[in-house]
Every structure is written in C-alpha cells, then in structure tokens.
C-alpha cells in the first residue's frame, strides 16, 4: 500500500552504459547527463552515486562494431565490458547491488534481441540458450541480479536453470516481464547502437493496446521463477503498474526509460516546466502506481533533484 512517500535512494537503480578500453567518456547527445563509459570512468562516476545513497547499478554493454556478429558472442565473453565492469564495481563498492542487462541486441550485427533462423526470424529457443550463457558469466563476475530483457518465451526458466546448474542459486532474476513495443526507446538505441537493421521488435515485445497479454507475460515469468518483475516503459503505463501490483507479491521495478528522461529535459530546456518539479512529480506517480524499485537515469542526479 502506497504511504505517500517516494522510495528512498536505496530503492533507485542507475542504468549505465559500459564500453571496452580505458579513458573513454562519450556523451550521449539524446540523453544529456549520460555517457558511454569505460570501466575506469564508470568507477569515477559511480562514487558520487553511491554517496547519494542510491542502492543499485544496472549495467549495459556497448561493444565496438567490429566485435558484433550474428549470434552476439561478445555478450558472454569473460573479458567483455559488462563482465569487467561487474568485477571492478564489486571490488570498489561491495555493498552496491549490481544488476546486469541480459540481451543480445547491442551485440548482434542485425540489432535484434536474439539469433535469427534461416527465414530471418528470431529463434526463441536458440536465443534462450545464449541468454543463459550470458547470465552465467555475469553471475560468475559477481552480479547480484541478472535482468533478461530479450522478451523470449521461457527466458526466465532458462536463466534459472543455468544459474542453479553453475552454482549461482543465490543470484536473483529481475525479468523485463511486461515490456512494451514502445516509441520511447529511441535515445537508448542511440546510446547502445542497437536499433534493428531490418524489421522491428513487435513480434516479441508486448503491444500497448493489449494489457491482458502484457500482464500475462509477468504472470508467466513469476511462475518460471523471477524474483523481481518489471514494467517498461513506465510513465505512460501507470495503469499496468497498478494492476500488476494487485496481482503479485513480488517486488515490481518501473523502468523510467530514455525517452521519458529526455522528454522532461527537452521540456525544461524550452522553459515549459521546472526540471526538478517535473522529475519529482513524475517519479512520485510511479511510486503511487505500485513501483517498489525505480530504474531511472535520474539516479545519478538524485542528490541534485531530491536533496
């Protein structure tokens, strides 16, 4: 039951983009205040986030274009950007909860979230086998929570089986369980260079016109063993958050996505609203709708906006 208070900083998770190499800091034009960071630069930026009390970090890998292939193999490389970042972050900030995104879209040369079959369609089962391998490498590096976002049928069960088999029974799974085919992912796809080269993702992401099916996706993931459910995007989906809150006792994460972040900045830059007020009101709406965790690009500015 919502008590009228915004979740404290310990319930916030900052999504960060990690690249390979050293000394790399690449501002993301469509997401002011966010950058693609090499591991050494990431550690510098995480320090003030931790000081502000933010409790979690969600890592996305951004491989160089030359490392992409049809199967996204760099995603499960032990020396990949995410795997290196997890190890470095846990050494520097052992109490910080580290989440890792488990998907292939940034790692495939075609930009889809899974491997393609001979017809050019995403092969669900073959993709699950690779996602499970990715999750196991993240857990081995020290990730506390793995977060499958590919929206493959059975992906949670595949990850749970692999994690248990590899000795990572304590690693949690936060499923992107109700993830919509949305127009609000544009800045993120720029940040990750992960837009599909052909077709779109409506075949495996939920339709925003079909809330029953979207909610069913979360119910199925809970049955498969998810520890945390998610609604993504969030600001346009308060009704979905509320309805999911009524159906489950699991924690629910609201992903305050890139387009939602950038639209508030654009509004404030044009003098059409106060940024601090816009952010505070919009994130309160997510908590009011039932979110327990807020995955938000505002997290690295928590002290500025909520202090």
Annotated active-site residue 179? The verdict is yes
How far apart CA 16 and CA 37 sit, in angstroms, is: 8
Q: Is the dihedral of CA 127, 132, 136, 139 positive or negative?
A: positive
- What are the angstrom distances between the C-alpha of 283 and each of 23, 63, 159, 259, 292? 33, 31, 30, 14, 11
SS3 297: helix
Whole-angstrom distance, CA of residue 59 vs CA of residue 78: 15
List of long-range contacts for 45-51, beta carbons under 8 Å, 24+ apart: 45/16, 45/300, 46/14, 46/16, 46/89, 46/92, 46/93, 46/96, 47/92, 47/93, 48/300, 48/303, 49/14, 49/299, 49/300, 49/302, 50/93, 50/96, 51/303
Residue 91: CB atoms within 10 Å: 10
Domain boundaries, the chain: 9-302
Backbone angles phi, psi at 89, to 5 degrees: -65, -45
Domain over 9-302 is classified CATH 3.20.20.70 = yes
Choose the catalytic residue: 11, 179, 197, 198.
179
The overall pTM is greater than 0.85: yes
DSSP type of residue 167: T
Considering 11, 68, 84, 232, which one is annotated as catalytic? 232
Axis-axis angle for helices 211-224, 155-165 (nearest 10): 20
Respond yes or no: is residue 198 known to be catalytic.
no
User: From first to last of its 307 residues, what are the pLDDT tens digits of the chain?
Assistant: 566 677 799 999 999 999 999 999 999 999 999 999 999 999 999 999 999 999 999 999 999 988 999 888 899 999 999 999 999 999 999 999 999 999 999 999 888 888 888 898 889 999 999 999 999 999 999 999 999 999 899 999 999 999 999 999 999 999 999 999 999 998 988 887 766 656 555 556 789 999 999 999 999 999 999 999 999 999 999 999 999 999 999 999 999 999 999 999 999 999 999 999 999 999 999 999 999 999 999 999 999 999 8
């Amino acid at each position: 039951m919502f008590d009228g208070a915004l979740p404290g900083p310990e319930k916030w998770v900052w999504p960060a983009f990690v690249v390979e190499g050293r000394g790399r800091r690449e501002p993301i034009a469509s997401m002011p205040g966010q950058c693609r960071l090499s591991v050494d630069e990431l550690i510098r930026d995480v320090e003030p986030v931790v000081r502000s009390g933010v409790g979690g970090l969600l890592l996305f890998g951004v491989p160089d274009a030359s490392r992409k292939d049809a199967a996204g193999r760099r995603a499960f490389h032990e020396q990949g950007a995410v795997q290196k970042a997890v190890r470095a972050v846990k050494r520097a900030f052992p109490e910080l909860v580290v989440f890792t995104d488990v998907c292939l879209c940034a790692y495939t040369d075609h930009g889809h979230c899974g491997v393609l079959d001979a017809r050019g369609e995403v092969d669900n089962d073959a993709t699950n086998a690779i996602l499970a391998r990715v999750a196991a490498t993240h857990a081995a590096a020290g990730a506390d929570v793995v977060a499958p976002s590919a929206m493959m049928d059975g992906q949670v069960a595949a990850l749970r089986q692999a994690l248990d088999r590899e000795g990572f029974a304590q690693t949690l799974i936060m499923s992107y369980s109700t993830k919509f085919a949305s127009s609000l992912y544009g800045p993120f796809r720029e940040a990750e260079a992960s837009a599909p080269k052909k077709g779109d993702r409506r075949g495996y992401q939920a339709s925003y016109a079909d809330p029953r099916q979207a909610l069913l996706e979360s119910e199925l993931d809970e049955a498969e063993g998810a520890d945390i459910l998610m609604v993504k995007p969030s600001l346009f989906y308060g009704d979905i958050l509320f309805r999911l809150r009524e159906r489950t006792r699991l924690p629910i994460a609201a992903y305050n996505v890139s387009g939602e972040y950038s639209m508030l900045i654009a509004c404030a830059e044009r003098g059409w609203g106060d940024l601090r007020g816009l952010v505070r009101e919009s994130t309160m709406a997510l908590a009011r709708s039932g979110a327990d965790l807020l995955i938000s690009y505002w997290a690295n500015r928590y002290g500025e906006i909520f202090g």
